Structure 1
């Protein structure tokens, strides 16, 4: 584990007074690759559990695409994504629990990983609802942007450029904001009995303090998810558990504890 850390500098986040902010360590640019390596080790040590969660992650976008193709009703995407935003944290908690069990020297089990969400259930549900609200907000903004540029007005690439630039810019800002909020919130809630505001503010602070390594990590996540889509979601069977395990190791590396972890 990375041991090279300093006192977290004061900034607008830690001084905001909105919630307690757990101090973070200073990461190296190469740490995200280390997290992937450790995540791969967890995947290879627990292939069946990994495939179980991976199949669920792959089935959800496949099922959404199937419903859209079968009904031709694209509005079905919204309720489907809302449902996914509510159950996504539960799936992620199961993957984090598997890595956590490996760290403790225990043998991970399906029942133990499925029960992980109960350790901080109220705040985990709150996190799922927060993700749902943010996703609905983004879908509404995207609909508004699309309404500003009716299809009949788009007759050439030149006329399409303002639409593409606006959509890409707003989408990029939204994705960056989501990354700050979600990078470490879920594993914090899993391991520690803290409130949602503390977990979110800690995640935001950790990403802000470690901008370079964390945006390298964001690039890795984007690339892995893109590969999953290119492979028709089949790649998610392996890639999503890999990202889940690696994210847990990133959390262990990034967020400080008052005393060394003594796993038994």
Structure 2
């Protein structure tokens, strides 16, 4: 080998090593202040104000879906079915929020948010979204089976009295809480990361769980804020969903950008700020 060829090969070696460097299984996260979710909520409200029409379209779709679920459950006369269907809405809801993350991305870039841009980003991440949605569906089906078992051991009459309903709600809520914690930890940061970075679904989920465990106080507050928005929606016959759900979606994106350090993974050029 001539000296010139040896020099050329030595010059290329660092570049090859850099390209084949193995990425970690989990993206690192920042340590959050306990009140950080309040800042995310404020930023989410600002995003809503910057894109009010598109935000209300998304919120109205969630509201209509809730009305349809409630109406169908009332027609079949099954209180249990209402709980199960709303659980499906909650469990699979994170996968439906991808468009809201895209709106915040567009605002970050100084763009006017467009539905077409949201759909384009969604198509690019369709594979990982489907993997994640399938995982959520499996979790929901397991939860539905657990709920059915609870209903077997605690059968309710067609018109249950207060004690029957209270017992069923307490036990069912405990069972549902366990599954909700799993879904919350796995999805709170993973879906924004899937849209923002060239990352697989498993890495994104592990990153999300790691970030939640390392910021328990802040993430507990964020979970309570999400729960409060759902309760407010119920109290207003789902009318509040027109505003609260888009704001929560935008705030989730802001929380992801503040918490997760994903520099090891290439950023989608369409979402680069």
Cα contact 2:94–2:187 (8 A) shared by 1 = no
**Secondary structure in 2 aligned to 1:115?**
helix
Structure 1 residue ranges without an equivalent (≥5): 1-18
2:105 to 86, 100, 109: 100
Normalised by the length of structure 1, the TM-score is: 0.82
Q: What is the 5 A alignment of 1:157-236?
A: 157=163, 165-236=170-241
**Secondary structure in 2 aligned to 1:134?**
helix
Cα contact 1:89–1:124 (8 A) shared by 2 = no
Which protein has the larger Cα radius of gyration, Structure 1 or Structure 2? 2
Taking the aligned partners of 2:161 and 2:87, their CA distance within structure 1 comes to 34
Please state if 1:147 is matched with 2:152: yes
1:134-185 deviations in Å (ceiling 9; x for gaps): 1111111011012112347x9995x888755543332222221221111111
User: Structure 1 residues 126 and 250, CA, compared in 2 at 3 Å: closer, same or farther?
Assistant: same
Please state if 1:91 is matched with 2:92: no
Q: What is the 5 A alignment of 1:27-66?
A: 27-66=32-71
User: Structure 1 residues 56 and 105, CA, compared in 2 at 3 Å: closer, same or farther?
Assistant: same
**Secondary structure in 1 aligned to 2:71?**
helix
Normalised by the length of structure 2, the TM-score is: 0.79
How many Å apart are 1:68 and its aligned residue?
2.1
Q: How many residues align?
A: 244
**Bigger Cα displacement from structure 2, 213-222 vs 114-123:** 114-123
1:247 to 252, 260, 263: 252
Which residue does the alignment assign to 1:113?
118
